[in-house]
Amino acid sequence: MCGIIGYAGCRPAVPVVIEGLHRLEYRGYDSAGVAFAQNKYLRVIRAKGKLSALEEKLATEQITTATCAMGHTRWATHGVPAERNAHPHSSNDGALAIVHNGIIENFQELKTELTAKGHVFHSETDTEVLVNLIAECRKREPDLLYAFAAALRLAHGAYAVCLMERGAPDTFYAARMSAPLIFGIGAGENFAASDIPAFLPYTRKVIFLDDGDIVQASAKNYRILRLENLQPAAHEPQKILWDMQAAQKNGYRHFMLKEIFEQPRVIADAMAGRVSPQGDAVLLPELDDLPVPARLHIVACGTSWHAALWGRHLLESWAHIPVQTEIASEFRYRDNLPLGKGDMALVISQSGETADTLAALRMAKKQGAAAIGLCNVIGSSIAREASTVLYTQAGPEISVASTKAMCSQMLMLALMALYWQAKQDRPTDAARRKGWLDILASLPAMLEEALPAMHETARRLSRKYAQARNFFYLGRGHCFALALEGALKLKELSYIHAEGYAAGEMKHGPIALIDPAFPTFAVALDDPLFPKTKSNIEEVQARQGKVIALTNEGTGLSADDVWTVPHLPPPLAGFMVLPALQLFSYEMADYLGKDVDQPRNLAKSVTVE
């Protein structure tokens, strides 16, 4: 969700914090602010809108060389986007300031109690309630660390928080519960942040905080304790191997475009070390101690759920494993989880912090099922809590709209299907498995060659269809999942209403909407279902609907715009379809002047329900 950074060190702290907030802009936000100590006061400066508005305010301030500060970019949960609701929030007496990601679920009850005790509130946020709750606890606890812990025990919900005190201008406090927070250890300086890029130019030495960790940090010292008893928490610092170069645009207009064009390398990286030197076997030692699941329940949200729907075809066809795909926010509220003996859960999340997916993982484990995590972020909550974890190795994904993450998830699902196929020891599958692995090995070069032409076609078509206010996306079989993803990308980025449908469902109601101003994007590949999809396209055309058909050479398909992509056997053809859909949405949004990397109302990691 939002961005947090706290800093204590020897540098001028406010510039370090602002720089860190810029690196967290990809998470999405509607306001920003900083807090720092100056002249025995705790200064809080906030602004609605982009960081540039905050920087304009700071430029008019006389800021001393404070060496401890914290900052925040907010995405509205409680209260409209406005300066009064921006973070940091201060306690009534001005002694404390706090920044917070997440939701305090019992904030209304706490607010009522605090109001009765004389506290006054100037915002609609749960965060202002939390800082005043800490101030109230401080009346009974002379040590702020103990007051902080006491308040957090009373607050129910999810949080990553950073806290500063007027009386200790060189120290910050932080805590984590069900929202990402990472501690960075530098040379004579320490950091806390909601994601690694915030402080990566200064240190690669990090501690991935656990739920229930509470931190006290100054320039040269820090301690991490457990919230329940304030006893030391055991953590081994880890070294981050990637650098900021991986998070730069490298000449591309937007991060999204860069990340689409990174997909050939993503596939190569994800396969590295996971295929035998002979190219005939998948090596996934993370799964060696688990049996082949009797039934696999894949749980995910958004784009990751679309990857799951696509992967189901491979797992059922290649590995003969029955698969149930579940939307995490629905799965977690089922009265009776559909987990039988021998069933296994697979949870997919790019960030490893998606709140509903994490809750589903915990529920599956509570039911006694093994839970596999598939994510991109080392040290994330899902990575640490899963029975075993497979990393997609996609590298940092900065654009809010996910692209290369889905590509890497699809690749890992294909490898898992081939791995479990081999584990069932069907001799007749060996030759087919080698053939599939050969195709996967050839994908990076094929995509590298195809992407420039795809980009050019996407640019041309976006200009033609930019005035459309609605779109249908159609697909059958494995292409249905891709149609859903194409529709999601178009509405995420361009704000054009788009719906993905199984092509055969069009005649069951949605076809009533077709008219000359309501175009259809049909994924109609040269596969066994092509004749059926072709018939659905003809039904649209009979009602004067415009059609973009994404197809292969030689199908003879007739449409308003025929877009051909290189042929691959199904379902691996999805690796050619996915970037075409992404590029069309990207070009449409860019042509319409939308904020491609930071679409309105969206955040990178959805850490609340």
Is residue 604 flagged as an active site residue?
yes
Let me know how many helices (H) and strands (E) the chain has, helices first: 16, 24
SS3 378: coil
Catalytic residue of the set 2, 137, 162, 301: 2
Polymer length in residues for the chain: 609
Angle separating helix axes 429-465 and 574-591, nearest 10 degrees = 20
Separation of alpha carbons 390 and 377, rounded Å:
10
The residues, ordered by sequence, that sit 6+ positions from 198 with a Cβ below 8 Å of its Cβ are: 3, 4, 5, 20, 21, 23, 24, 191
Residue type present at position 147: A
SS3 400: coil
Structure token digits, residue 436: 């599939």
| Residue 375 annotated as catalytic | no
Q: 32: which 2 tokens?
A: 């920003």
Show the tokens assigned to 340: 């039988």
Number of Cβ within 10 Å of residue 463's Cβ equals: 11
Q: What DSSP letter does each residue of 225-263 carry, written as one string?
A: EETTT-PBPP---EE----GGGGS-TT-SSHHHHHHHTH
- Give me 433's structure tokens: 């498995």
Question: What span, in angstroms and rounded, lies between the C-alpha atoms of 226 and 223?
Answer: 10
Residue type, 20: G
Which is it for the CA torsion 141, 144, 145, 149, positive or negative?
A: positive
**Sequence-ordered alpha helix ranges (H) in 319-395:** 328-331, 355-366, 381-385
Output the CA–CA distances (angstroms, integers) from residue 514 to 472, 543, 546, 548, 564, in the order listed.
Answer: 9, 7, 9, 14, 24
550-to-68, 310, 319, 460 alpha-carbon distances in Å: 55, 17, 29, 14
Which one of 48, 111, 258, 604 is the catalytic residue? 604
Active site amino acids: 2, 604
